[in-house]
Amino acid sequence: MSGGFNLSPYFFNFNRDQSRLTMKIEFILNGEKVAIEAPEDAMLLWTLRERLNLTGTKYSCGISVCGACTVHLDGNAIRSCTTPVSAIVGREVTTIEGLSKNNEHPLQLAFQEEQVPQCGYCQSGQIMQAASLLKENPTPTDEQIIQYMDGNLCRCGTYTRILKAIKKVVREGQS
Amino acid sequence: MENSTKGISRRKFLATAGGATIMIGGFYLFPGCRQNVGKALDESEPIEKEVTVWVRLMSDGQVIIYTPAAEMGQGSMTSVPLILAEEMDADWSKVKILSSPVEAEIYGVGWYPGGAKNMTTAGSRTIRSYYQLMREAGGQIRRALLQHAAEKWEVDIQELTTQPGMVVHAASDRKMTFGEIADFGNFEKLPDMSEVVLKDRKDFRLIGKVMPRYDIPAKTDGSAIYGMDVQLPGMMYGFINRSPVHGAKPELTNEEEIMNMEGVKSIVKLDHGIGVVASSVEAGLKAKGKMQIKWSKALASSHNSDEDLSAYTPNGAQEENQEGNVESALKTSDKIHEAILTNKYVYHAQMEPLNAVVSVAPDKQSAELWIGSQAPDGAKAVVAETLGIDQKNVKANQLFLGGGFGRRSLSGYAAECAALAKSVDGPVKLIWTREDDVSYGAFRPQVKHFLKAGVDRNGRITAWEHTAVGPGGGLSSGGAGISHYDIPNIRFNRKDIDHGIRTKHWRAVGHGPNKYAVETFIDQLARNYNKDPFLYRREMMQGNERARKVLERAAEMSNWDPNPKDGKAMGMAFADRDAFSCGVAQISLDRASGVIRVHQYWCALDSGVVVQPDNAVAQVEGSVIMGISCALKEQIDFQGGQVAQSNYNQYPLLRMSEAPETIEVDFIDSDEAPDGLGEAGLPAVGGAIASAFAALTGKYLYDMPFTPERVLKVLKT
């Protein structure tokens, strides 16, 4: 399993669509400065996935109602499916691939220990959402966790385990 | 890649698989896996030996096991290899799991004796189908390893035992690792199955123990590769506008405009839609949005689901099954009770919309497919068919599935992708938008249930008749059976209505709707005669001890109380989707808003031997949550044959704030052969909630889902 951040093999050849109206976008991606060309109306989600080969961030609804595409923008959880690339210029984007070096963020470990993922498709978004919460508030109550996580859907029904895993991190952070 | 699969039978590969020349390659589910299977590249590389089609042994002790099943969240990627590793006595920490090649003749199983081999992962069949096969495959390899050690040490094989990853000769205190045996071993000829002794359950080291799932670490760092994640050099993007009304044929009226759009590579006219291939997602989506299409009329145009559902009658239904004589038993009964219940269409809503990648060779004579499919062999076949080439010239690569629930056993999306890829030079990734996935979904049918029970003076059911009316044919038949109850006269009738729409298996299939209807009615009968719904069911389960124990266990776990307490009430329902299961829901009701909240849920099951206990619990937790979602919220409507919903905002799923605070799951300890458990917990949920609602309000929820508007209406009656 490859953890951490790898440059796409197509990193310097991402601009498959030369003919379209594109803009140059510079931003910080998982701690590294990157510069890309993308259509100005391109969404961050597809740019991450199809131009930068960071496929851990998932497409599911495209309208900000499911949370599968959650990444951090300047440390806060956002939905990348409705965030145009023009909005990230000069800012810091963190994806699941950049959350930790070796799959070792306390939440990643807790999700493994509690055996949370089933199909796993929503889990990058769940973890990124939870990571943003714990950064904001390391000691949330159950109600605060649930409220914060409520925009992230999971069709496999792993909610009870997600909650357990987050509470475990909160508990261990306190001791 | 070459596949030589001719004439390999299950017996043969078990007996002599070393002789079969099957090249195993395939696209790996995890990046970074070794892809140069075959000979060691240099001396520092471990030697790799193919023992059978299922297992490769490395001289450094690693064991590669191929899994034939789709991994869509149900965990069989871990449990199938784990069964083999158990009998082989492999060291689980050294096991590496890879997806098997898509070769149904080798890796598939028939669903009934003599049935065609297939690789379809559906119907909670995987463990049932592969349990004995994997045990034998593992036992045979263990026997081969023992033979090799016996020959090497020149001792009687009877003096040898195995420990995880090694053969042990206790008399001389010697050990030989499987890696060492791989180094010198020759697996051309394997022991005959008559020599193979399988383990006793009490000696299991892996089966029945809490083992972490193999796929989970890759699902917490984004490295797991789903169909949607495939990236190939020069890849283009395909999108399709499909018939809004099933069966309508398209006519594109602005072809030139679309073709002239930036990034558009080709337009593909399909029977059911118009596809576009473009150089980027953005260009493809833009072209998709700009298409002007005239659609022909189709049968489905007249389907208005609500109106049609209310107009369904049982007249003319065909008898599918009868035990005893329902007609005469109804006549002699003390009283006849009747109820009519309905359930709406529901959508799979798997988190990963359908997608596939196909690359067609420049000469159009071969192709490669990357897909997350519940039926990769079927997907491979339709790609070949679409391209007009032989299946042996299609290589299929199975990837992780972002949910399946029955939707991904249809292969239409692979055929679509092949048609798009054929039109261009280079690979094409077909992406269904969420809106596509909803509006071109294939749904669990809506059903109207007409129930009739003849009851004696004590409230005991003597005759039972259930007539299910709606589209989808056999999809609505499963789960109508109630042979676990001691009811002497039972009849089930079906009336199939063709609305010209797509219907499909959905987790637990007919059991969901039928158990909801059956159990809600039984619950009502119990209450009509002032009986505790638990005791009422138990009285009727004297002839089926296995079922009765599950019922009793659920009552015990939940501390069953038929009386409401502090604004909360319990309800119970029983189901027999593969495993027996009994669910107890504890709910509260906001009478002002009509919102039902499930606070706690208990589920007892008997599914025989449980291979992976923690994963089994997770499957039941998940199916309970999916069941609550379905019972409280989910519905697809057709208006003029068009699906009224288009995304999660209009088709809401249960969210974390609506999930039960606790879900307790317990499996009855059993030596019986494993039965399916991935769907088993779901069908009781609707009935359990309706039962709790009745305990709380004295009223019945006859129409699922129990949305707040409907609940308010019921409260006013």
Is the domain of A19 the same as that of A89? yes
**3-class DSSP state for residue B575?**
strand
Establish if A90 touches chain B: CB-CB under 8 angstroms: no
Going by C-alpha positions, the residue among B141, B84, B89 that lies closest to residue B107 is B84
Is the domain of A16 the same as that of A88? yes
Q: Is residue A169 part of a domain?
A: yes
Tell if the CB–CB gap between B217 and A112 is shorter than 8 Å: yes
**Complex confidence, ipTM:** 0.94
A51/chain B closest Cα distance in angstroms:
9
**3-class DSSP state for residue B104?**
helix
Distance of CA B688 to the CA centre of its chain: 23
Q: How many domains does chain A have?
A: 2
Burial class (CB in 10 A: 0-12, 13-18, 19+), B35: exposed
Going by C-alpha positions, the residue among B68, B79, B89, B77 that lies closest to residue B614 is B79
Residue B644 in contact with residue B303, Cβ under 8 Å?
no
pLDDT confidence of A22, banded at 50, 70, 90? confident
User: pLDDT tens digits for B105-122?
Assistant: 999 999 888 889 999 999
For the beta carbon of residue B325, count every other beta carbon within 10 angstroms. Answer: 13
User: pLDDT tens digits for B45-98?
Assistant: 889 999 999 999 999 999 999 999 999 999 999 999 999 999 999 999 999 999
Q: Is residue A1 part of a domain?
A: no
State residue A126's pLDDT score.
98
Residue ranges, chain B, pLDDT below 70: 1-44
CA atoms of A168 and A114, how far apart (whole Å): 9
Is the domain of A81 the same as that of A149? no
Q: Which helix (H) or strand (E) holds B277?
A: strand B273-278
Residue B458 in contact with residue B348, Cβ under 8 Å?
no
State residue A64's pLDDT score.
98
Q: What is the CATH number of the domain that holds A147?
A: 1.10.150.120
Report residue B369 as tokens: 């497919």
> What residue of B is the nearest CA neighbor of A118?
B73
Pairing of strands B355-360, B428-431: antiparallel
Residue B243 in contact with residue B272, Cβ under 8 Å?
yes
Tell if the CB–CB gap between A150 and B623 is shorter than 8 Å: no
Q: Is residue A6 part of a domain?
A: no
**3-class DSSP state for residue A53?**
coil
Pick the last residue of a domain from A30, A63, A98: A98
**3-class DSSP state for residue B536?**
helix
pLDDT at residue A72 above 60? Answer: yes
Q: Is residue A54 part of a domain?
A: yes
Tell if the CB–CB gap between B434 and A119 is shorter than 8 Å: no
Query: Mean of the pLDDT values across residues A76-97?
Result: 97
Is the domain of A85 the same as that of A116? no
User: pLDDT tens digits for B276-300?
Assistant: 999 999 999 999 999 999 999 999 9
Chain B contact set for A63 (CB, 8 A): 434, 647-649
> What residue of B is the nearest CA neighbor of A121?
B402
Answer whether B10-219 and B305-346+443-716 agree in fold.
yes
Q: What are phi and psi of B287, to 5 degrees?
A: -65, -40
Establish if A158 touches chain B: CB-CB under 8 angstroms: yes
What average pLDDT does the structure give for chain B?
93
Q: Please, which residues bridge with residue B340 across strands?
A: B450
Query: Does the N-terminal peptide bond of residue B613 adopt cis geometry, omega within 30 degrees of 0?
Result: no
Is the domain of A89 the same as that of A21? yes
Is the domain of A114 the same as that of A94? no
CA atoms of B709 and B706, how far apart (whole Å): 8
Pick the last residue of a domain from A78, A98, A118: A98
Instruction: Read off the DSSP letter of residue B47.
Output: P
Pairing of strands B166-169, B160-163: antiparallel
CA torsion through residues B630, B631, B632, B636, sign: positive
Residue B349 in contact with residue B507, Cβ under 8 Å?
no
Chain B contact set for A154 (CB, 8 A): 351
DSSP B243-266: -SBTTPPEEES-HHHHHTSTTEEE
CA atoms of B350 and B406, how far apart (whole Å): 10
- Domain enclosing residue A134, as ranges: 106-174
CB pairs under 8 A between A and B: 212
Pick the last residue of a domain from A70, A98, A126: A98
Residue extents of the structural domains in chain B:
10-219, 227-297+354-431, 305-346+443-716
Residue B374 in contact with residue B334, Cβ under 8 Å?
no
For the beta carbon of residue A77, count every other beta carbon within 10 angstroms. Answer: 22
Q: What is the CATH number of the domain that holds A67?
A: 3.10.20.30
CA atoms of A28 and A44, how far apart (whole Å): 13
The domain B10-219 is placed in CATH, from the list 2.130.10.10, 1.10.10.10, 3.30.200.20, 3.30.365.10, at: 3.30.365.10
Q: Is residue A67 part of a domain?
A: yes
The domain B227-297+354-431 is placed in CATH, from the list 1.10.10.60, 3.30.365.10, 3.10.580.10, 3.50.30.30, at: 3.30.365.10
Going by C-alpha positions, the residue among B544, B616, B615 that lies closest to residue B580 is B544
Is the domain of A29 the same as that of A86? yes
Is the domain of A154 the same as that of A126? yes
Establish if A17 touches chain B: CB-CB under 8 angstroms: yes
User: pLDDT tens digits for A35-59?
Assistant: 999 998 899 999 999 999 999 999 9
Going by C-alpha positions, the residue among A52, A90, A99, A48 that lies closest to residue A72 is A99
Fold of B305-346+443-716: Aldehyde Oxidoreductase; domain 4 (3.30.365)
State residue A20's pLDDT score.
52
> What residue of B is the nearest CA neighbor of A119?
B73
CA atoms of B134 and B81, how far apart (whole Å): 8
Instruction: Read off the DSSP letter of residue B346.
Output: B
pLDDT at residue A2 above 50? Answer: no
State residue A7's pLDDT score.
37
Q: Residues of A numbered 109-128 whose beta carbons fall under 8 angstroms of chain B's beta carbons: which are they?
A: 111-112, 115-124, 127
Query: What Å distances lie between residue B274 and B164, B301, B412, B605, CA to CA?
Result: 56, 19, 14, 47
Nearest to B624 among A111, A127, A157 (CB): A157
Residue B683 in contact with residue B512, Cβ under 8 Å?
yes
Tell if the CB–CB gap between B216 and A112 is shorter than 8 Å: yes
Is the domain of A118 the same as that of A80? no
Is the domain of A165 the same as that of A141? yes
Nearest to A157 among B218, B622, B647 (CB): B622
User: pLDDT tens digits for B337-383?
Assistant: 999 999 999 999 999 999 999 999 999 999 999 999 999 999 999 99
The amino acid occupying position B160 is L
Chain B contact set for A39 (CB, 8 A): 280, 282-283
